Amino acid sequence: MHTKNGRNDPDKLRVAVVGGGTGGLTLAVALRRHGIVAEVFERTAVLGEVGAAISLTANSVRLLARLGLGDELERVSVEPTEVIYRDWRTGERIAAQPIGSQYRARFGAGFLCMRRAALQQILSRAVGGEHLHLGRGVRHLVEGPDGIRLEFTDGRLHDADLVVGADGLHSVVRGSITDEAGPRYSGVSGFRGLVPMSEVPDLPDPHALQAWMGPGKSVLHYPTRGMVNYLAVVDGPSEWPALNGTLPAVPGELAEHFAGWSPGLLQLLTATQQSDRWALFTQPPLSTWARGRAVLIGDAAHTMLPYHGQGANQTIEDAVVLADALADTPPGEYAVAIERYQRARRARADLIQRSSLDKPSILHLPDGPAATTRNTALREADDHLVWIHDYDAQRPDRGHGIQIDESRDQVFHLV
């Protein structure tokens, strides 16, 4: 049942990962580092994720570096120069903090922005093509005394000891674990875009990560190599009429929503063809992330709003902690490993998830006393990145004693 070093015998542990996104691929890489081979099943025929770009913060970058991926990530990414908060109409810099080398020195790892495709290529190469199965949608899971069987939509079957649901917002695996309410529409929606930097000469500080705040709306954007990635968020509609996450937008709708905003920002929002309108979803905390031989990671367990930029980062934390737990537990004792994983991860993910819920109301304040108070607080804040970015999922005593003031965080932690 064990190798000489006490790790799991890879011939005895059969892990099936449902979902070939950031979380599923990271888990497979992390397990492989422990000598455990996982098979990854992705329902789409071609790897792809929502959004064209991604930002990885120090809390996940240090974990990926330990998996041997640090140099590759550095080659395909850029580091924002600052975090800047701006007034919607004037473009005034309300508050700013440096990132770059100062961030790296503070947190021991970089703040890296890159194309999602580049990250997926790095991860999929590390997994190995023979263990990544595309076009394999899971229809049903059947658990027995000696394992769990995956039934695919094409009629094929696969047997495993453990199934990990890394299948995102509309997780099939989650449905086999709990009948609790799934992700719900948050009441805000957005437009996404990726714009060549050469097309936005009037955008101030294009190499910075920026949050533009205004009445009922906000725009978050950051650089990738030669490009600027943005998410423009608006309040409403009050209900989302579609079963999926997108709806066609009326031509010119994005520009109309942001009429009167700073000309430099409008140049960014109108530089390319308008996207569909995306619903932003959140997930009420689940009472459990596991049942029997099935367990969840990432958005399948804790879908959260994007204001912390922590969706992918928390998925990476989940993946590495789960891999460590499985590697340190005898193969027949999955319940012990899963309980260890949940104990390590749920409180942190729930806190980040909860603290993101009030962000639209903070970012979208109308001009007036409340916005003035917020702006003053932002200028005086100097530590709002610490409790998320300094955390080390493999060394959770790092940063022990940092006090998390959630009332302050509701104002300060916008990235």
- Strand ranges in 153-226 using DSSP code E only, listed in sequence order: 157-160, 162-165, 184-196, 209-214, 217-224
Closest CA to 230 of 191, 196, 204, 274: 191
Distance in angstroms (rounded) separating the CA atoms of residues 72 and 54 = 15
Question: What angle, 0 to 180 degrees and rounded to 10, lies between the N-to-C axes of helices 58-66 and 100-107?
Answer: 70
Question: What angle, 0 to 180 degrees and rounded to 10, lies between the N-to-C axes of helices 311-327 and 334-355?
Answer: 160
> SS3 sequence, 269-301?
HCCCCCCCEEEEEECCCCCCCEECCEEECCHHH
Rounded to 10 degrees, the C-alpha dihedral 57/59/60/62 comes to 110
- 383 contacts 233 by C-beta, under 8 angstroms: no
Q: What are phi and psi of 140, to 5 degrees?
A: -160, 150
Residue 41, Ramachandran bin (φ over 0: left; ψ between -120 and 50: alpha; else beta) = beta
Whole-angstrom distance between the N-terminal and C-terminal Cα of the chain? 45
Distance in angstroms (rounded) separating the CA atoms of residues 215 and 278 = 19
- In DSSP terms, 140 is beta-bridged to 151
Distance in angstroms (rounded) separating the CA atoms of residues 358 and 375 = 16
CA atoms within 13 A on the CB side of 299: 27
Q: What are phi and psi of 187, to 5 degrees?
A: 95, 0
Q: Taking the mean position of all CA atoms in its chain, how far away is CA 133?
A: 23
Complete edge-to-edge strand list for the sheet that includes strand 294-296: 132-134, 38-42, 15-18, 162-165, 294-296, 290-291
Q: Is 222 a catalytic residue?
A: yes
Q: Is 85 helix (H, G, I), strand (E, B) or coil?
A: strand
Distance in angstroms (rounded) separating the CA atoms of residues 272 and 270 = 6
- In DSSP terms, 222 is beta-bridged to 229
| Residue tagged active-site, from 103, 222, 230, 341 | 222
Q: What residues act catalytically?
A: 222
